[in-house]
Structure 1
């Protein structure tokens, strides 16, 4: 039962944060906001996004499937832990969609290096630079707690690795290059994934500017 619920919540997340958000973007702007196909295959950005996608599927589909095939959980399936997982998954999905909507017309999936979107620093972005990623990780952690086997846990770790790579190695350097001093000031006040944690000091900003890359990112670089 819990495995089926995990798959249902995962599909719900894909429909809400993927399909629904894309339809809203198209309705409001005439553009879907999808730029994934423009990411060069084999680039660092492509690698990070692909790793993240594999992580998503491994948690949301692989974990429940492994459970149905008889893979034992890493620990006893205590109902309170599974209930916590359901709560985290629901909160994470709603928070991710809310943060996506807060990006307005700047929301993108992937990147087009020919366009320049506005830097969003309001709403949840006032305190956290990557609230969508944070919310997605919370949702996937909830799904992992619902079906806590090694497959789901591996998927969550892959997602963390992919997101960390995307943010630190791809998006932040490029956003420094695109937005300059306003972004440097923003990174000094807003945390990377959690409020107050991961803020960049002057020396960090200088380092990012010197290593800026033109690989994938757009606006605030959120999926």
Structure 2
């Protein structure tokens, strides 16, 4: 199962970032990558940096286990459950990326304006289904390969998405889409349905 986790992670990374960026570039002329915004003195920079740490550690976890550096031997039932969760998580990530269409980006460019996606089976339920699905997939990888490196990847990813969403994306979306995003955020959960909905006045205050 360790090899399966390693192969799955590599294939997912290639598809979700490499192939997706290639498709985005063919359709829009842009890869969608905006990089890490801000400086080390700003929380949003740390969100981007932690995301990189999460991706590297996420690959290192099963890779190290595969060569015996961090041996693991969880029960088969847990491994199978992890495989199922990882597959669903990665598939949901791709579905959410596809659902964003031309608006899909990695990182934020404050000078850029893209269409706000608020509907569909994923974005109609939570505001950040890509991040939700990615965290779920990493939980699956941890169940498949429960090493401290894989757990580190999960913790870094969780912190990264919280910082990225709260300090970079939400302020950007409010500033760009105003009341349309405020209303969407007031009725839709941040990562989990019904959880993290924001009061419209609070959103406007945060933008000031």
TM-score normalised by length of structure 2: 0.91
Query: What residue in structure 2 maps to residue 96 of structure 1?
Result: 93
| Cα deviation digits, residues 101-158 of structure 1 (max 9, x gap) | 1111111122333221111112211111000000111111111110112221121011
Whether the 8 Å CA contact 1:67–1:149 is kept in 2: the answer is: no
Query: What residue in structure 1 maps to residue 35 of structure 2?
Result: 36
175-184 or 51-60, which moves further after superposition? 51-60
Query: What residue in structure 2 maps to residue 137 of structure 1?
Result: 135
| Cα deviation digits, residues 139-191 of structure 1 (max 9, x gap) | 11111110112221121011101111111122112211111111110001111
Whether the 8 Å CA contact 1:60–1:143 is kept in 2: the answer is: no
1:115 is aligned, of 95, 107, 112, to 112
Alignment of 1:160-175 (within 5 A): 160-175=158-173
Residue correspondences, number:
206
Q: RCO greater where, 1 or 2, for CA within 8 Å and sep 6 or more?
A: 1
Query: What residue in structure 1 maps to residue 44 of structure 2?
Result: 45
Stretches of structure 1 that go unaligned for 5 or more consecutive residues are 211-223
Q: Sort the Cα spacing of 1:9 and 1:142 in 2 relative to 1 into closer, same or farther, 3 A.
A: same
- Superposition CA RMSD, Å: 1.8
Query: What residue in structure 1 maps to residue 76 of structure 2?
Result: 79
Which structure 1 residue ranges, 4+ long, deviate > 4 Å from structure 2?
none
Distance 1:72 1:15 in 2: 26
Whether the 8 Å CA contact 1:71–1:149 is kept in 2: the answer is: yes
Whether the 8 Å CA contact 2:65–2:145 is kept in 1: the answer is: no
Whether the 8 Å CA contact 1:127–1:189 is kept in 2: the answer is: no
Please give the secondary structure, in 2, of the residue aligned with 1:125.
Answer: coil
Residue 153 of structure 2 corresponds to residue 155 of structure 1: yes
Residue 9 of structure 2 corresponds to residue 10 of structure 1: yes
Stretches of structure 2 that go unaligned for 5 or more consecutive residues are none
1:59 is displaced (CA, Å) by: 2.3
Whether the 8 Å CA contact 2:110–2:172 is kept in 1: the answer is: no
Query: What residue in structure 2 maps to residue 220 of structure 1?
Result: none
TM-score normalised by length of structure 1: 0.85
